[in-house]
Structure 1
Amino acid sequence: MFIPTLLSPDTSVTTKETSDILYSNFSYNPDTYYFLYVGDLKNYSLNYFVRETLARRLNKNNVQFIAIVPDVCVQYNYANILVINPVATEDMITNHTFSGLTTPPRMSCRLKSSTFMSAVSKSQTIRLLIETILQHQNQLYVNLYESLVEMTLDSIDGVSVLGPDKNIAKQFNDKVFQRNNLSHIVPLIEGYCCRNRKELLQTTATLWDTWKDGVFVSSAYSAGGANSAVTHCQQEVETKFTDEYCDYLVTKYLPHDLDPTVLGVVANENEVFIAGIADQVIQDGNRFVGSTFPTVATKEQQKQLRDYTIAVGQELGKAGYRGIFGCDYLIDKKGEIRFLEINARKQGTTLEFCFTMEQTLPEGSPMLPELEYYAVTENRFPPNTVEMNGNHRSIHWGTYNYKLTSKQLTTGYIPQNPYERETFKKIAHKELIKDFAILEHLGTNFLVQPGTFLARVVSVARCAEDVSEGLCQGVGFIKQTITEA
């Protein structure tokens, strides 16, 4: 299953040249108009909306996408997959598991996004594939979940990224930069910027007597709970943050019950589209594991959240940012909103908001990938752009990302379910009252490293209680497929 596969006889690729591809089920068809997706498997379905956008805009009958992903799975219930994961590849060579033997277990690990993007950009197989595609079409779009400077395929003539400028995105993903440049438009939590670890330790040493609920520490670049923590003593800070030359953000930890996140799209400095507001599920003070919709914030709070996010989007627009972004907030015990961060990229709620918008907005309304396409290529939104006004279809949903915090061995398998979109449609049309799906399960006999997504649960229903029930059941099924390594 993991033997590198030739792309197609048409590409004249040799086995040696495909050694950077861990798995492929793709065959090139010169009569097809292609675009590339580079990112995690869990966002694969977003590309259906991109495909539909390109088919309409370019008047193409046969548009397909090639998904370049780092996820190592026992099998793939998806078309046109190319897997690149240099760490897993090296492990398989070392342990001689290309023969299909299941002893020792195969390894699955989550790559840093920068490592993955760099590996894809350097891949001779991918570059040869691009060269072949551009012989039959004059432009090749690359759809990214996140624009990173390590992605360099767009330096090839004829290749364009459907997403924000990577350098602008990097600047605005810097939490220290955010704090220094957004204080005039959003309410910030009391805090300090530190230029290195020495300054971090000097700063936090003075705070324990006054910030008794804890001190939140984050490196300039962090996401999903990585490189950040709620700390309660100086030793925790010293142990968890060891990079001597990193920029750090230190803020007062505010006890709270609600972590709303707002998803939007920037077309220019005046046009900002708000997709909706969901509530994040946060564990251990900083570890994101999922979201629920609709938000339980009050109508007044929702208006404030939208206004703040539009203001942030306008700042992004002034800087030249074009595309999808999100803003995270907290609402404290007094009901006051505090800004936490910009995510200058697609967020974990992007796919589910597309499914919700599709069932809620008038037929033919552009979804988020189409809005991003217009923003990137034309600096505007299409004339039929409509925001959601309420939840008249009574669609409720919740997600749970089952991310491992310790090394685990998978002993069971849950088949990959590619029908999440259909589930939303059935709930909206009252063909179902509730349902849940377990998505992207890696498979059996994997030694899964900490930080890896084992699977994802999506629960859709017509009320919040049924959503919670579906998430609980889905997580329970996943737990049955793993054991301590």
Structure 2
Amino acid sequence: MDGLIEVKLEKDLLSNELEYFFTFLCDRFEYAVELWIKELEKKFNKKFKPIWILSSKQNDLFKKENFIIINRLINKFPKENVDSKLVCQEEPEDLNKYFSESEFIKGLIEKLVRKQGRVFILPWTSSCLKAQNPQAIILGPGPDVAKKYDNKITQVELFNELGLLRNKVQIYNNFKELKKNVKFPSFISASYTSGGFENGVINSKDKLDEYYTRVREENKGGKFISARLIEDVKHSPNVNAIVFEEGKTEIICISDQILRGCKYLGNIYPSIIDKKSKKAIIETTKIVGNHLSKKGFKGVFGLDFIIDSRGNLYTIDLNPRRQGGYVCNILMALPKVSLIELELKLALNEKIKNIPSYEDFQVDYVWAHLKLKPYYDFMKIVKITNKNRVDTPFLEIGKGFKTIFYPKGYRFFGGGVGYAIKSGNNYNKVKEDLIKDIEKILSTHLDLYTI
């Protein structure tokens, strides 16, 4: 089953002079598509247009000419919870898989290749993505190496191999073994997770059984890990970096993660960690990036860290893909560096003559971004907001951007219902103002309270 919900394509898509490409970058990443179009048009001197691959419709995308909605998750909900106004988000890896398995998509790619000679695919992550055609070019790291290092078990083994300081972790071959041997409380994770999904702090066997019901099928038969709780967390820094070639990794930015419990919501730049920790993070990231480069990885990736109250630095998570702050990373670097131009050259296997340094990406102001993540599943959107453009906080320091992606009256399951960015000159003020703004939106624009 393809899981196709809706297909909307221009009637002359196969006969006009435009070149079409597929993109999975929607919601908080949508603005990056505008910049990718400009870069592709500059590179090839012709007009490009996207075909959006979505789990659910968005307000803005209703008006756009080409989109394909793919969703199998929605069939797993009780019928009384499913109607035309349910926004149900697939995990990115699952959406990649369904895209790759679709006979309709395969046929469309073949037709576009006959028309254009090639088809670009712009994903958020390359993991579980198959091009389906030798003339389909993925604008990101190779799918095989991305999937390999997307696996949390592989990451534990990699960090051990590289001699990196990490938390005490136990690997279990299956859930039965985990349930029999795990000690509570522990941080539990399935093999493939991102953004705090399918992992978390578990305090009892009942909670462990409840956790297992939320695990996706591809993870249920796989390995699990349990990690010792680090209860005296002082900072949770994140690094964005880019692998240019074998042995050449550069840092894009170091920021602090903003979390709700174990759930990732966003980042604030620059990180306020001390110089010693910053130096260690840069060194660790280059060690990991250079190792990835030997395995054929090229492009952007990220690492999550934890620093405890004693100053110990733990390498926690490897993200072999674009991360949540991707659009902010692009905008902070402009106009000095075009991150997209670099990514395009890497995808086309072109040599980059002038590789930018860490300093080339840095700015002298603070920015932060946050997902508008509902507190509970199936909350209803009761009010819409849309203020400024995504790039406004980077062009006018001190201003912000905020939006809700989906229509009023819709209920929401998974991911973020909206997005906000704020810039300024004071770390604490930017963080506090943005969090207050987000909490206000969640309490007034969703049905959190009924009167």
CA 1:382–1:463: 2 relative to 1, 3 Å: farther
CA 1:233–1:7: 2 relative to 1, 3 Å: closer
1:195 aligns to what? 173
- 1:226 deviation in Å? 1.3
CA 1:105–1:306: 2 relative to 1, 3 Å: same
Distance 1:185 1:51 in 2: 41
Distance 2:392 2:15 in 1: 28
1:430 aligns to what? none
Q: Answer yes or no: is the 8 Å Cα contact 2:258–2:264 preserved in 1.
A: yes
2:33 aligns to what? 47
1:439 aligns to what? 403
Distance 1:5 1:238 in 2: 38
1:408 aligns to what? 379
**Equivalent position to 1:375, from 341, 346, 350:** 346
**Equivalent position to 1:476, from 440, 444, 448:** 440
- 1:445 deviation in Å? 1.0
State the one-letter code of the partner of 1:230.
Answer: V
- 1:141 aligns to what SS in structure 2? strand
- Higher alpha-carbon deviation: 343-352 or 382-391: 382-391
- Higher alpha-carbon deviation: 31-40 or 300-309: 31-40
1:424 aligns with 2:394: yes
Spell out, residue by residue over 1:119-140, the C-alpha distance to the aligned partner (whole angstroms, 9 max, x if none). Answer: 4335565445434433442222
- 1:310 deviation in Å? 0.8
**Equivalent position to 1:7, from 6, 9, 16:** 9
Spell out, residue by residue over 1:90-132, the C-alpha distance to the aligned partner (whole angstroms, 9 max, x if none). Answer: 79xx89x9xxxxxx76111111324422443355654454344
Aligned length, in residue pairs: 435
Q: Answer yes or no: is the 8 Å Cα contact 1:264–1:324 preserved in 2.
A: yes
1:180 aligns with 2:157: yes
Distance 2:196 2:159 in 1: 22
1:250 aligns with 2:226: yes
Distance 1:470 1:181 in 2: 36
Q: Which runs of 5+ in 1 are unaligned?
A: 12-27, 98-103, 209-213, 428-433
**Equivalent position to 1:236, from 182, 207, 213:** 207
Q: Tell me how large the CA RMSD over aligned residues is.
A: 3.0
1:120 aligns to what? 99
- 2:141 aligns to what SS in structure 1? coil
Counterparts of residues 341-356 of structure 1 (less than 5 Å): 341-356=317-332
- 1:274 aligns to what SS in structure 2? strand
Counterparts of residues 272-421 of structure 1 (less than 5 Å): 272-284=249-261, 286-358=262-334, 362=336, 365-367=337-339, 369-378=340-349, 380-383=351-354, 385-388=356-359, 391-415=362-386, 419-421=389-391
CA 1:196–1:89: 2 relative to 1, 3 Å: closer
CA 1:481–1:371: 2 relative to 1, 3 Å: same
- 1:270 deviation in Å? 0.7
2:20 aligns to what? 34
State the one-letter code of the partner of 1:62.
Answer: K
- TM-score scaled to structure 1, two decimals? 0.81
- 1:88 deviation in Å? 8.7
Counterparts of residues 143-154 of structure 1 (less than 5 Å): 143-149=122-128, 151-152=129-130, 154=131
- 1:440 deviation in Å? 4.2
2:137 aligns to what? 160
**Equivalent position to 2:56, from 56, 71, 76:** 71
Q: Which runs of 5+ in 2 are unaligned?
A: none
Spell out, residue by residue over 1:147-173, the C-alpha distance to the aligned partner (whole angstroms, 9 max, x if none). Answer: 132x33x22242111111212111111
- TM-score scaled to structure 2, two decimals? 0.86
Q: Answer yes or no: is the 8 Å Cα contact 1:73–1:442 preserved in 2.
A: yes
CA 1:5–1:250: 2 relative to 1, 3 Å: closer
Q: Answer yes or no: is the 8 Å Cα contact 1:461–1:467 preserved in 2.
A: no
1:56 aligns to what? 42
Q: Answer yes or no: is the 8 Å Cα contact 2:187–2:199 preserved in 1.
A: yes
2:121 aligns to what? 142
Distance 2:412 2:268 in 1: 27
- Higher alpha-carbon deviation: 190-199 or 271-280: 190-199
Q: Answer yes or no: is the 8 Å Cα contact 1:274–1:306 preserved in 2.
A: yes
- 1:297 deviation in Å? 0.7
Distance 1:397 1:143 in 2: 25
Spell out, residue by residue over 1:418-446, the C-alpha distance to the aligned partner (whole angstroms, 9 max, x if none). Answer: 7212331122xxxxxx2222234312111
Distance 1:69 1:78 in 2: 14
Spell out, residue by residue over 1:383-415, the C-alpha distance to the aligned partner (whole angstroms, 9 max, x if none). Answer: 253433585532432323424432212222224
1:15 aligns to what? none
State the one-letter code of the partner of 2:133.
Answer: I
CA 1:354–1:8: 2 relative to 1, 3 Å: closer
1:100 aligns to what? none
